[in-house]
Copies of this chain bind each other. A is one copy, B any other.
Amino acid sequence: MSVTAAQGFSAAGVAAGIKHSGNPDLALVVNNGPRTAAAGVFTSNRVQAAPVQWSKQVLSRGAVSAVVLNSGGANACTGPDGFDDTHATAAHTARVLGHRADEIAVASTGLIGVRLPMDKLLPGIETAAAALAADGGDQAAVAIKTTDTVHKTAVYEGEGWSVGGMAKGAGMLAPGLATMLVVLTTDADLDSPALDAALREATRLTFDRIDSDGCMSTNDTVLLLASGASTVVPAAGVFADAVRTVCDDLARQLIGDAEGASKDIRIEVVGAASEDDAVEVARTIARNNLLKCALHGEDPNWGRVLAAIGTTRAAFEPDRLNVAFNGVWLCKDGAIGADRAAVDLRGREVRITADLATGPASAVVWANDLTAEYVHENSAYSS
């Protein structure tokens, strides 16, 4: 049910003709209220697509009545003309729905540096508006796919309220890959600051901790809209857990469907002096191309983990580091530990544990391996 699991929302996904393939490429998510509270987080890339620039302004007022999303073009690095296109998209959506343009968020994904075909996009908005339905969440989730092989949705059911969401992309928020777009909806009766607090904490621990290929998108967008239609006001902690649960589910789906990947790699750093240290070390391991290749080859090459850790600024002593693959401690005190032959890396999921032996903090980052298929998918055509 995706973004229409919560009461008060309708959605649609249609083929507007933006993609040459003729696949669905335009999604609309409408908040029918009574509230139109919203929060958003965006890419930390300093080169930001026109829809990100626009939607940040919209979200700064904390109210979103609808989100229009397109695949088939990122509308990034398109200059003032591209911003005009985003503005026209919001204005047209507002006219069609009878809302104000400054309450319409816009998100785009696809190739950077190409203008959107507005002659197809604007009529597509009308088609999508006509197709809006209280069970349209799955159609919307399908229409935002690019290189995704499956559409991604998640739902959390609270007591009389719920949180639902959809996502596309094979990477992360900040930094983020291949554009990650996420729309979450809830019928909980919460205001914009409450949504914002829950969303920021959830993204910090979920989307911010997946790292498929270390590349940060110009378009990453995560929105949380509240209709208030349930009239239930959940406790802040309960709501935060719900949002985090949905984000975690979607984040894992993104890693599980990353471009060309054959492994989902869970990197846990323990014994760190601080959470920041743990995240820095985990992310550095996650981005090491040599290690990512080794894992693709199912080789528990722990030396590449140590070489990666050694490039960080985290607090540790090289001769106290310990590293495990799937629970087998191959490296103890910075030197040779258990026999590599004891490790079986044939499963899709691989667990790496790096113990800095310095303090009490820890963090988990999810990553993917590096494969010939990734190279092919990102070299054979523009994306």
Asked if B299 contacts A382 (CB within 8 A), the reply is: yes
Q: Which residues from B are CB-within-8-Å of A311?
A: 44-46, 175, 216
Asked if B382 contacts A318 (CB within 8 A), the reply is: no
Q: How distant is the Cα of A320 from the Cα of B280 in the complex, in angstroms? A: 31
CB distance from A272 to the nearest CB of B (A): 15
- A131 in contact (CB, < 8 A): no
Q: Indicate which residue in B215, B288, B333 contacts A307 across the interface (CB closer than 8 Å).
A: B215
Q: How distant is the Cα of A317 from the Cα of B290 in the complex, in angstroms? A: 34
Q: Indicate which residue in B215, B297, B334 contacts A290 across the interface (CB closer than 8 Å).
A: B215
Asked if B77 contacts A331 (CB within 8 A), the reply is: yes
- A301 in contact (CB, < 8 A): yes
- A355 in contact (CB, < 8 A): no
The segment from A118-126, A223-231, A371-379 found at the interface with B is A371-379
Q: Which residues from B are CB-within-8-Å of A334?
A: 47, 77, 79
Q: Indicate which residue in B113, B296, B308, B330 contacts A336 across the interface (CB closer than 8 Å).
A: B113
What 1/0 flags go to A349-383 for Cβ under 8 Å of B?
A: 00000000000000000000011101111111110
Asked if A378 contacts B290 (CB within 8 A), the reply is: yes
Chain A count of residues within 8 A CB distance of the other chain? 70
Q: Which residues from B are CB-within-8-Å of A306?
A: 47, 76-77, 112-113, 218
Asked if A319 contacts B79 (CB within 8 A), the reply is: yes
**Smallest CB gap from A79: residue in B:** B335
- A115 in contact (CB, < 8 A): yes
Asked if B372 contacts A294 (CB within 8 A), the reply is: no
Asked if B214 contacts A289 (CB within 8 A), the reply is: yes
- A213 in contact (CB, < 8 A): yes
Q: Which residues from B are CB-within-8-Å of A81?
A: 335
What 1/0 flags go to A70-101 for Cβ under 8 Å of B?
A: 00001011111110000000000000000000
CB distance from A28 to the nearest CB of B (A): 26
Asked if A296 contacts B218 (CB within 8 A), the reply is: no
Q: Which residues from B are CB-within-8-Å of A17?
A: none
Q: How distant is the Cα of A319 from the Cα of B50 in the complex, in angstroms? A: 12
- A293 in contact (CB, < 8 A): yes
Q: How distant is the Cα of A110 from the Cα of B78 in the complex, in angstroms? A: 47
- A180 in contact (CB, < 8 A): no
Asked if A297 contacts B379 (CB within 8 A), the reply is: yes
Q: Which residues from B are CB-within-8-Å of A382?
A: 294, 299, 301
- A33 in contact (CB, < 8 A): no
- A302 in contact (CB, < 8 A): yes
Q: Indicate which residue in B78, B216, B296, B374 contacts A293 across the interface (CB closer than 8 Å).
A: B374
What is the interface of chain A, defined by CB distance below 8 A to chain B? 44-48, 74, 76-82, 111-115, 175, 177-178, 213-218, 287-290, 293-297, 299, 301-304, 306-312, 316, 318-319, 321, 330-331, 333-336, 370-372, 374-382
